[in-house]
Every structure is written in structure tokens, then in C-alpha cells.
Structure 1
Amino acid sequence: MAGIYIHVPFCKQACSYCDFYFVTRDQERNHYVEALITQINHYADTFYSAETIKTVYIGGGTPSLLSISQLKKIYRAVQRVFNLDLEEFTLEMNPDDVEPEYLRGLMSLGVNRCSMGVQSFDEDLLKFMNRSHTADQAVRAMELLGASGFDIYTVDLIYGNPGQSLNSLNTDLKSFLAFDPPHISAYSLTVEPRTRLGKMYENGKLKPLSDEKTAEHFDLVSETLTESGMNHYEVSNFAKPGKEAVHNTRYWNHENYLGLGPGAHSFWWNEDQKTAIRWLNRPDLRKYLSGNFEHAEAENLRLYELAEERLMLGLRTSNGISTDELEKKYEYQVDQHQLNYIYHQSRSGKLTYDEGLLRLTREGLKVADAIILDLISLKKPDAPR
């Protein structure tokens, strides 16, 4: 089973934290749709199109800048070329694009999950992030989405902003929960180099929130959302039972996915199931519109590299990762040095290890990246991989 990701690179303006590929040239949207359909057609009668596609995710950028008719053209092309048996069809949107007619159009197209970038209901924080919507527009969009008939949708929250207090974050959380969303993706703000925030940091005009304060924010988010009845099923994701994101779970489980559009990533196991390839479509809209769909990057991944990646992805989820899976699928054995570390982290309350299943606790999730890095680096080069 596989998934398809379609990258729509258009945005109204640049959010201060975003390092995804995007452009603000909205006059190119029709040309982009035609180029995308051409790229889709290139996959006809290939082993990519033969595999059953269970999820489609249209992200960006801002996919909700495309009209329903443009989205319909794209989806019809996907239907013609690929073998679809969809469990989930997701489209990302911004609050300022949400209108009842647009939501009805998405449902008629077959979209059954929306992902909306609210980020905050605090007007000052929205301005700091340079979001295109206001707090009032976010409230209206939440009301419309809740009344739309979509059973599953997710809204994004960003915490850990410079100068953001726990009281401010708590107010935001209460505002989100007042709408009773089935899923919330909560991300800690990261300052990426090639962004507005990155430049502010380099120039000494921005002081990120300390690690200690960010950990306090994480605790408040996790405790508040789990107490509301949501499962904390991945470091940044919370869902009511049965409302987890299917497409994203496929990423974490190392299942095949094909990326379409400029700047989209793909991952595909080779036929031997011992190696895989990951590639990035060149993030260049001009070349893409000219029919140049070449890859900017491509890497062949060996089994031990895939094992380390699966270990990392698995530990970020509530399901954890079993050493049995690592051994049988990836030929990776946890050695004594790693077992000693696991035992130490178990004693400190950051990790559990029961019948071969490794899982991080809430305390462990706060420092997940550090634990995962330690665990991977402890394996000796001459130990079985």
C-alpha cells in the first residue's frame, strides 16, 4: 500500500518560520496545474501506478488557493493514472480561504480530511508569524469547519514562541478546545536558517525561548490535550480515538509514498526490500512549468540506515518500535551498549522496554531527539546491524 503527496507551492505571503518551498506568483496557478497533470501522466503504466494507493495528501504552500475546478482536474488525473482505494484524502487550507461553498466543493470531490493552519488565536502571535489570517478569521473558519460535515479534520497550533507565557499558551489551548476538534497538530516553534526568523536570530534581533521554557510548554500542551480526551500518539500529534492521521502514519511506518509537484519528497522500497530510495523534486517552479521534473536530490538507503530511521520514527510515536521488527525487517540487532542505555533511561522514567517493545514516556518525548541520537550512536561499528 502507498500514498501520494502533492505539493502546491503557492502562498499569499511568507510566514516568518516556514522553510518549505513556496512562491507568491499566483498568476502561475493554471500553468502549475497543467504541469502537474503532465508529471502525473508520466507515471502511467509504471510500477508506481500499479501499487494500490490508500492515501492522497495535498499540502504546501497553500493548496486552498487553488479553485475547486483546478483541484478536480488534478484529482481526475490521479484517478486515471493510479490504482486508488482511498482511506484518506487530505487537503491543507488556511483560515482566510475557508468558505461554506469551498468546503462543500471539497466534499463533493472526495476530500474527507482537512488540515487547517490556525497556529494561534492571539493576534500579536499571528502578526509575529506573519500569517495571512486574523484571529477573527480563525474563529470563523473553525466554526465553518465544525459545521461542515467533515468527520475528521486537524488544526495546527504553534507553541514555544519567543516571549510567549504559559498563560498565553493556556488561553490558546482553551480556544482550540472550545471548538472540539478531532485532531490537533501542535508544533514547537523552530528557527530555521533560511527564514525571516532565522535572519532575525543571526542579526541578534530574536532570542528563542529557552529549552527549559519550551519543555514547560510541551508539558502544558500534552497534559491539556490528553486530559480533554485526545491520544498523544506522536510527538506533535493528538487525536480523538480513531481520528489519527492515516497518511502521516504511513511516513512513520516507512511505507511507500510518491511526491508530485516542485519540492515534494518521495520514498520507495526497492524490489529486494533490502534498500530504498528517497528523492526530492527540484524546488524550482520555473523549471517545473517548462516540463523539467528532474530530481534535485536522490539517495539510496541501505538497510542499516533504514533501520536507524525506523527506530527514530517509531520512538516518536506512542506505538514505539519493537526490536523484533528491527531484526526481521531491517536485520538490526540492539546491542549490549544500547541495552545498558535503555535500562538507564527506563530507570530515569524516560523510556519503557517491555517484551521487546521500546516506547518513550511523556518525559522521554520532551527530549526525544536527544535520546534517539544517543541510542543510535551507541551501536558499535562492528556490532550486528
Structure 2
Amino acid sequence: MSGLYIHIPFCKQACSYCDFYFVTRHQQKQDFVDELIREIHSKKDSVFTEEPVQTIYFGGGTPSLLSADQVNAILDEINKVFDTDLKEITLEMNPDDVSPEYLSGLKSAGINRASMGVQSFNPELLKFMNRAHTSEEAMKCLEILEASEFKVFTVDLIYGNPGQSLDILEKDIDTILQFKPPHISAYSLTIEPQTRLGKQVELGRIIPPQDDTVSDHFDLVVQKLAEAGIQQYEVSNYAKPGHEAVHNSNYWNHENYLGLGPGAHSFWWDKNRDSAKRWKNEANLEAYLKGEWKEKAELEELNLGDLAEERLMLGLRTKAGLSMSELKTSYDFEFNARQLEYLQRLEEGGRVETKNRIYLTKEGLKIADSILLDLVTMV
């Protein structure tokens, strides 16, 4: 099974923290859809159509800047070209794009999971993030979503912002929980160097919060969501049982996925599963519209050692962790003496469990990135 990721490169404005590829000119939306359909058809009778597509994810950018008819046209062409056995079709949307009519059109087109980029209801934080929507629009869109035919949806939240108190975060969580979402993605603010936020931090105009503050935010998110029956199943993802994201879980499980659109990444195992390739389309809409997606940018060949390291990094970000036997059988990987000693110390400190599976505890997930970095540098 595999997944399709479709990158829609249009945004109304640049969020201060975002380093994904986008453009703010919208005149070429239909040209983009036409070219995307050409790219879809170029995959006909290829290795990518030999296994069923289980998930489709419209990301961006802001996919909700496309009309429901445009989304429908894209899905129609996918169904013509690929062997589809679809369990989940997700579309990211911003609150200011949502109306009952739009959601109804998306549902008719086949979208069955909405991903709502709320991030916060606090006016000052929305201004700091340079979000296009207001607090009122965020509330209104969740009311519309809760009343719609979408029974599966997720709401995005960002914590660890400069100046964000625990009270502000708690109010955001309480507001989201009023709408009974089956899934929440809660991300700690990441400062990327090439973003507006990254430049302001570099110049000393913004001071990021201390690690202890971010840790307190994380604890509050885990606690409040667990009390509402929404359990953490990955570092940044929480769901009611049975509502975990299928598409993203396939990433963490190292399944094949094909990226379409400018800047989209792909990952595909070779037939014998002892190597794989990763590549991306050039992040340039003008080049894309000229058909330059035919050339793979940044093609990377991955051997089994690379893949084992990657599986470790992905799997240990999830609550389920990794099977020791899977690492040995599928990746020919076993922990070396230094790694085993390190894991033993972590287990004694209550951050890791190692039985037949290895997984991080709540305390371990809180510092997952540093644990993973330590582990892979000991290879």
C-alpha cells in the first residue's frame, strides 16, 4: 500500500514560522491544477501504480484556497490513474476559507478528513504568527465543522510561543475541546532559520521561551487531552481510539508515498526492499508549470543502514515504538553495546521501556529529539 501527498503551493500570506514552499499570487491556480493533472497522468503504468493507494493528503500551502470543483477534478484523475483503495483523504484548511457550502462540496468530492489550522484563539498570538484568520473566524469555522458531515477532523495547535502563558494555552485547549475533535495535532513552535521568525530570533528581537517553559506546555497538553479521552500516539499527535491519522502513521511506519506538486517529497522502496529512494520536486511554481517536475530534484539513494536509522527516528516518535525483531528482520539492525548501555540508563530513568518492543515513555517523548540524536550518533 502507498500514499499520495499533494502539495498545493498557495497561501494568502506568510506565517512567521513556516518554511514550507508557497506563493502568495493566486492567478495561476487553474494552471497549477491543469499541470498537476498532467503530472498525475505521467505516473500511469509505472511502479507507483503497482500497489494500491490507501491515503491521499492535500497539504501546503493552503489547499482550501482551491475550489471544491478543483479538488474534485484532481481526485477524479487520481482514480483514473492509480489503483485506489482509499481509507483516508485529508485536506488541510484555514479557518477563513471555511463555509458550510465549501465543506459540503469537499465531502461530495470525496474528502473524508478535514485538518483545520487553528493554531491559537489568542488575538496576540495569531498576530505574532501572522495568521490570516481571526479568533472569531477560528471559533466560527469549528462550529461549522462540528455541524458538518465531517465526522473525522483534526485541529492544529501550536504551543511554546514567546509570551504564551500556561493560562493562554489552557484556554486554547479548553476552547478546542468544546467542539469534541476526534484528533488534535499539537506542535511545539519550531524556529526555522530562513523564516521571518528565525531572522527575528537571530537579530535578538524575539527571545524563544526556556526549555522548562516548553516542557510545562507539553505536560499541560498531554494532561488536558488525556482527561478528554484524546491520547498521545506520536510526539505531536493525539487521538480518540480509532481516530489516529492513517496517512501520517504510514510515514512513521516507513510505507511508500509519492509526492505531487512543487516542493513535494517522495519516498519509495526498491523492489527487493534492501534500498530505497527519496526525492523532491523543485520548489518553484514557474518551473513546475513548464513541466520541470519531470526531473527529480535532490534524489537520494538510501541503503539499509540509512533506512534502519530512519526507521529508528520515525518509530520512536510514536507511542507504539518499534519491534526489535522488525529491526533485525527488515533492516538487519541490532543495537550496539554503547546504544544498549544508553538505553539501559534511559530505562532506569523512566524514559524508555525495552522488552520485545522499544518505546519512549511520556517523559521520553518530551525529549524525543535529543534521545534520537544521541542514539543515532552512537551507530
- Residue 262 of structure 2 corresponds to 262
- Answering whether residue 40 of structure 2 is matched by residue 32 of structure 1, we say no
Give SS of 2:121's match.
coil
Q: In structure 2, how many angstroms separate the alpha carbons of the residues matched to 1:308 and 1:316?
A: 13
1:378 is displaced (CA, Å) by 2.0
1:296 is displaced (CA, Å) by 2.1
Q: Could you tell me whether the CA contact under 8 Å between 2:113 and 2:153 is conserved in 1?
A: yes
Give SS of 1:26's match.
coil
Cα distance per residue 1:71-118 (max 9 Å; x no partner):
111111111110101000111100000100111111111111000100
Q: In structure 1, how many angstroms separate the alpha carbons of the residues matched to 2:319 and 2:365?
A: 9
Q: In structure 1, how many angstroms separate the alpha carbons of the residues matched to 2:302 and 2:47?
A: 19
Cα distance per residue 1:188-244 (max 9 Å; x no partner):
001111111011112110101111111111111111111110110000000001000
Give SS of 1:118's match.
strand
Give SS of 1:54's match.
strand
Q: In structure 2, how many angstroms separate the alpha carbons of the residues matched to 1:134 and 1:15?
A: 13
- Answering whether residue 306 of structure 2 is matched by residue 305 of structure 1, we say yes
Q: In structure 2, how many angstroms separate the alpha carbons of the residues matched to 1:191 and 1:54?
A: 33
Name the TM-score, length of structure 1 as normaliser: 0.97
Q: Could you tell me whether the CA contact under 8 Å between 1:283 and 1:296 is conserved in 2?
A: no
* One-letter amino acid of the counterpart of residue 42, structure 2: H
Q: In structure 2, how many angstroms separate the alpha carbons of the residues matched to 1:151 and 1:73?
A: 23
Please list, as runs of the form range in 1=range in 2, the aligned pairs for 1:197-216 lying within 5 A after superposition: 197-216=197-216
- Residue 383 of structure 1 corresponds to none
Q: In structure 2, how many angstroms separate the alpha carbons of the residues matched to 1:51 and 1:338?
A: 36
* One-letter amino acid of the counterpart of residue 132, structure 1: A
1:295 is displaced (CA, Å) by 2.2
1:252 is displaced (CA, Å) by 0.3
1:257 is displaced (CA, Å) by 0.3
Name the TM-score, length of structure 2 as normaliser: 0.99
- Residue 234 of structure 1 corresponds to 234
Q: Which moved more, 1:305-314 or 1:368-377?
A: 368-377
Please list, as runs of the form range in 1=range in 2, the aligned pairs for 1:1-385 lying within 5 A after superposition: 1-293=1-293, 294-354=295-355, 356-379=356-379
* One-letter amino acid of the counterpart of residue 200, structure 1: Q
Q: Could you tell me whether the CA contact under 8 Å between 1:200 and 1:206 is conserved in 2?
A: yes
1:123 is displaced (CA, Å) by 0.7
Q: In structure 1, how many angstroms separate the alpha carbons of the residues matched to 2:174 and 2:71?
A: 34
Q: In structure 1, how many angstroms separate the alpha carbons of the residues matched to 2:296 and 2:125?
A: 36
* One-letter amino acid of the counterpart of residue 37, structure 1: I
Q: In structure 2, how many angstroms separate the alpha carbons of the residues matched to 1:374 and 1:199?
A: 28
Q: In structure 1, how many angstroms separate the alpha carbons of the residues matched to 2:140 and 2:244?
A: 24
1:248 is displaced (CA, Å) by 0.2
Q: In structure 2, how many angstroms separate the alpha carbons of the residues matched to 1:73 and 1:267?
A: 25
Q: In structure 1, how many angstroms separate the alpha carbons of the residues matched to 2:374 and 2:32?
A: 43
Cα distance per residue 1:6-36 (max 9 Å; x no partner):
0000000000000000001100101100110
* One-letter amino acid of the counterpart of residue 283, structure 1: A
Give SS of 1:272's match.
coil
Give SS of 2:27's match.
helix
Q: Could you tell me whether the CA contact under 8 Å between 2:229 and 2:240 is conserved in 1?
A: yes
Q: In structure 2, how many angstroms separate the alpha carbons of the residues matched to 1:298 and 1:212?
A: 39
1:180 is displaced (CA, Å) by 1.0
Q: Could you tell me whether the CA contact under 8 Å between 1:62 and 1:92 is conserved in 2?
A: yes
1:375 is displaced (CA, Å) by 1.6
Q: In structure 1, how many angstroms separate the alpha carbons of the residues matched to 2:20 and 2:50?
A: 30
Q: Could you tell me whether the CA contact under 8 Å between 2:6 and 2:260 is conserved in 1?
A: yes
Give SS of 2:36's match.
helix
Q: In structure 2, how many angstroms separate the alpha carbons of the residues matched to 1:371 and 1:25?
A: 41
Please list every run of 5 or more consecutive structure 1 residues that lacks an aligned counterpart in the other structure: 380-385
Q: Alignment identity in percent?
A: 57
Give SS of 1:208's match.
coil
Cα distance per residue 1:42-73 (max 9 Å; x no partner):
10111211210000111100000001111111
Q: In structure 2, how many angstroms separate the alpha carbons of the residues matched to 1:251 and 1:347?
A: 30
Q: In structure 1, how many angstroms separate the alpha carbons of the residues matched to 2:56 and 2:331?
A: 27
1:338 is displaced (CA, Å) by 1.4
TM-align CA RMSD = 0.8
Q: In structure 2, how many angstroms separate the alpha carbons of the residues matched to 1:21 and 1:378?
A: 34
Q: Which moved more, 1:163-172 or 1:87-96?
A: 163-172
Q: Could you tell me whether the CA contact under 8 Å between 2:72 and 2:106 is conserved in 1?
A: no
Q: Could you tell me whether the CA contact under 8 Å between 2:69 and 2:109 is conserved in 1?
A: no
1:372 is displaced (CA, Å) by 1.1
Q: In structure 2, how many angstroms separate the alpha carbons of the residues matched to 1:220 and 1:27?
A: 43
